[in-house]
Amino acid sequence: MALHNVNVLLGVTGGIAAYKAPDLVRKLTGLGANVRVVLSPSANSFVTPLSLQAVSGNIVHQHLLDPEAEAGMGHIELARWADAILIAPATAHCMAKLAHGFADDLLTTLVLATTAHIFIAPAMNQQMWAAQATQDNLNILNERDITVFGPASGEQACGDMGVGRMLETHEIADMLDQAIINQPSLPSSKSHPITVQPLSGKHIVITAGPTREAIDPVRYISNHSSGKMGYSLAVQALAMGANVTLISGPVDLPAPLECHLVPVESALDMHTASLHAVADNCDIFIACAAVADYRVIDISEHKIKKNTDKLTINLVKNPDILADVAALPNSPFTVGFAAETHDLEHYAKDKLARKKLNMIAANDVSQSDIGFNQHDNALTVFTAETQFILPKQDKLALAAELLKIVAQEVSKY
């Protein structure tokens, strides 16, 4: 596999074929490539940055003038990082901009700022592909040694038949792999220095989602956790260079490709999986899961029949995973969450001290627009000495903010 350890910067522009981009990322990483994704301004109407972040394990870059992204890996660094730039799908508009040297967004700027070889996989309506302007632009790109994969012919999203469909993702990935084998001048291994990332080399264990406590073979006790907050932490921790073990209760989310996913059902399963994962040189433990506090004492072997008006189910307390990890002799840096409906600071500080944690993120779950099963969240983070207020924002951005604080505190630990 020629793509092994090659840095591929995947540019995705705004055409219907952009929905295939997550699959293309999987194919490229499957061939061993390191993939970072840049979205053109219109591409995120067709594909979400979160799904591309999940499959690539890296932050998705979108804006040229983004102070936060520039503080991480800036656009010139990104252009230098790339061994190859692949634009798929490349729209007619994108081809025109490349042919004429426009640099009015992040992707086109990177193309001008890089010495990496450029590959494009065009995708457009057959009449647009045949248009003289597109064909003239294609000739210019060919003359500049930009490699063009496809397009294929067949039925198009608009109902037309003809040339203009993007090649299948496995064809694009294989052609890129082959191009690198065939052209010795192209990189066969990463040759650029790697940026030191804040969590580089750290093993982070994250619990996420709800647990389910069985009542009988068809019923269980659970809660409204969607796993979004914990999965966002996993995505951002990977992007910051960590090795991530994600211990997840049942959720409906794709796990980031590069993390080690441990799916569990009950609190007891999560307890066993957490202690096992922490024993494997864990540096940081983040308990984001909404663990059921109690489980059913006698789980019925058969489905309980509704032949009484009242039913009593006896519960017993589950072990506290977070407290047990914090109590280990060589415990990792331990971060808890506190989901509270009132007296947020009081209860969060109580949990910080009682469970002997290094940090706690207090989550006001009385507000219906944040917390459980919401896109956004807001946190107040406490350590024994200080506090940080992270205002309402989407969970992915919030996860990055929280991990920056964790990285900072771990460096003092």
- Mind telling me the catalytic residues? 158
Q: Which of residues 28-87 bind ligand PMT (CB under 6 A)?
A: none
Binding characters for ligand PMT, 189-208, by CB under 6 A (x = yes): ------------------x-
Q: Which is nearer to ligand PMT, 37 or 229 (CB)?
A: 229
Residue 289 touching ligand PMT (CB under 6 A) = yes
User: Contact 249/211 with Cβ under 8 angstroms?
Assistant: yes
Closest approach, Cβ 324 to ligand PMT, in A, equals 8
User: Contact 69/36 with Cβ under 8 angstroms?
Assistant: no
DSSP string, 263-321: E--SHHHHHHHHHHHHTTT-SEEEE--B--SEEESS--SSPPP--SS-----EEEPP-H
User: Contact 165/129 with Cβ under 8 angstroms?
Assistant: no
User: Contact 42/219 with Cβ under 8 angstroms?
Assistant: no
Select from 89, 371, 403, 410 the one that contacts ligand PMT (CB under 6 A): 371
The residue among 215, 256, 254, 210 whose CA lies nearest residue 233 is 256
What is the Cα–Cα distance from 90 to 95, expressed in whole angstroms? 7
The residue among 379, 285, 388, 286 whose CA lies nearest residue 339 is 379
Select from 79, 116, 255, 321 the one that contacts ligand PMT (CB under 6 A): 321
Closest approach, Cβ 270 to ligand PMT, in A, equals 8
Q: Which is nearer to ligand PMT, 149 or 337 (CB)?
A: 337
What is the Cα–Cα distance from 241 to 203, expressed in whole angstroms? 9
Select from 6, 322, 403, 407 the one that contacts ligand PMT (CB under 6 A): 322
Closest approach, Cβ 390 to ligand PMT, in A, equals 11
Closest approach, Cβ 357 to ligand PMT, in A, equals 9
Crossing angle for the helix pair 169-182 and 21-30, nearest 10 degrees? 40
Binding characters for ligand PMT, 246-275, by CB under 6 A (x = yes): ---------------------x--------
The residue among 397, 410, 40 whose CA lies nearest residue 201 is 410
Residue 293 touching ligand PMT (CB under 6 A) = yes
Q: Which spans of this chain sit near ligand PMT (rule: CB under 6 A)?
A: 207, 209, 225-230, 267, 287-291, 293, 318, 320-322, 336-339, 351, 363, 365, 371-373, 377, 395
